[in-house]
Structure 1
Amino acid sequence: MQLTFLGTSSGVPTRSRNVSSIALRLPQRAEVWLFDCGEGTQHQILRSDVKISQITRIFVTHMHGDHIYGLMGLLASCGLAGNPSRIDIYGPPKLSDYLQACRRYSQTHFSYPVKVHTVRPGMLFEDDNYTVHCAPLTHRVPAFGYRVSEKDKPGRFDVTRATKLGIPSGPIYGRLKRGEVVELPDGRIINGTDLCGDPQVGRSFAYCTDTIYCDEAVELATDADVLIHEATFAHQDAEMAYQRLHSTSTMAAQTALAAGVKQLIMTHFSPRYAPGNSIVLDDLLTEAQAIFPNTVMAHDFYTHTIPRRKTKQMAGVSS
Structure 2
Amino acid sequence: MQLTFLGTSAGRPTRTRNVTSIALSLPEPQCGFWLFDAGEGTQHRMLGSRFKLNKLERIFMTHLHGDHLYGLPGLLSSRSYFEGAAKLDIFGPPGLKRYLDTVFELTGVHLGYELNVVEIAEGIVLEDERHIVEAAELQHRLPCFGYRITERPQHGPLNLKRLAELGVPAGPLYGKLKRGEDVTLECGRTVAAADVVGKPQPGRVVTILGDTRPCDNAVRLARGADLLVHEATFAVGLEEKAAAYGHSTFGQAAETARAAGAKRLVVTHFSSRYDDEAVAELANGVKPIFPDIEPAVEMADIVIPRPPLTNS
The two structures share one fold, judged by TM-score above 0.5: yes
SS at match of 1:289: coil
User: Deviations 1:267-306 (Å, cap 9, x if unpaired)?
Assistant: 0000112379xxx223321233121111110121121111
**Identity over aligned pairs, percent:** 46
Shift of 1:137: 0.6
Contact conserved, 2:54 with 2:86, CA < 8 A, in 1? Answer: no
Judged with a 3 Å threshold, the aligned counterparts in structure 2 of structure 1 residues 171 and 57 are, in CA distance, closer, same or farther, namely closer
Candidates 289, 292, 295, aligned match of 2:290: 292
Letter of the 2:40 partner, please give it: E
Distance 1:18 1:90 in 2: 22
Candidates 302, 305, 308, aligned match of 1:307: 305
Q: Which residue of 2 aligns with 1:94?
A: 95
SS at match of 1:18: coil
Please list every run of at least 4 consecutive aligned residues from structure 1 whose deviation after the TM superposition is greater than 6 angstroms.
Answer: 162-173, 180-183
Q: Which residue of 1 aligns with 2:187?
A: none
Q: Which residue of 2 aligns with 1:273?
A: 274
| Aligned residue pair count | 308
Letter of the 2:284 partner, please give it: T
Matches within 5 A, 1:202-241: 202-241=203-242
Q: Is 1:117 aligned to residue 115 of structure 2? A: no
SS at match of 2:85: coil
Contact conserved, 1:197 with 1:313, CA < 8 A, in 2? Answer: no
Judged with a 3 Å threshold, the aligned counterparts in structure 2 of structure 1 residues 179 and 285 are, in CA distance, closer, same or farther, namely same
Q: Which residue of 2 aligns with 1:103?
A: 104
Distance 1:274 1:258 in 2: 28
Shift of 1:105: 0.6
Judged with a 3 Å threshold, the aligned counterparts in structure 2 of structure 1 residues 201 and 275 are, in CA distance, closer, same or farther, namely closer
Shift of 1:237: 0.9
Distance 2:158 2:166 in 1: 13
Contact conserved, 1:252 with 1:288, CA < 8 A, in 2? Answer: no
User: Deviations 1:140-163 (Å, cap 9, x if unpaired)?
Assistant: 110000111211112123365468
Letter of the 2:79 partner, please give it: C
Distance 1:140 1:291 in 2: 27
SS at match of 1:273: coil
Distance 2:160 2:13 in 1: 55
Matches within 5 A, 1:169-248: 176-179=177-180, 192-193=193-194, 195-248=196-249
TM-score (norm 2): 0.90
Judged with a 3 Å threshold, the aligned counterparts in structure 2 of structure 1 residues 27 and 164 are, in CA distance, closer, same or farther, namely closer
Contact conserved, 2:150 with 2:205, CA < 8 A, in 1? Answer: yes
Q: Which residue of 1 aligns with 2:10?
A: 10
Letter of the 1:142 partner, please give it: P
SS at match of 2:273: helix
User: Deviations 1:204-244 (Å, cap 9, x if unpaired)?
Assistant: 21001200111101111111110010000011111101111
Q: Which residue of 2 aligns with 1:21?
A: 21
Contact conserved, 2:8 with 2:17, CA < 8 A, in 1? Answer: yes
Please list every run of 5 or more consecutive structure 1 residues that lacks an aligned counterpart in the other structure.
184-188, 315-319
Contact conserved, 1:155 with 1:198, CA < 8 A, in 2? Answer: yes
Q: Which residue of 1 aligns with 2:45?
A: 44
Judged with a 3 Å threshold, the aligned counterparts in structure 2 of structure 1 residues 169 and 112 are, in CA distance, closer, same or farther, namely closer
Judged with a 3 Å threshold, the aligned counterparts in structure 2 of structure 1 residues 300 and 275 are, in CA distance, closer, same or farther, namely closer
CA RMSD of aligned residues (A): 2.7
Distance 1:215 1:194 in 2: 45
SS at match of 2:113: coil
Please list every run of 5 or more consecutive structure 2 residues that lacks an aligned counterpart in the other structure.
185-189
Q: Which residue of 2 aligns with 1:317?
A: none
Shift of 1:194: 5.3
Q: Which residue of 2 aligns with 1:131?
A: 132
Shift of 1:30: 2.8
Q: Which residue of 1 aligns with 2:33?
A: 32
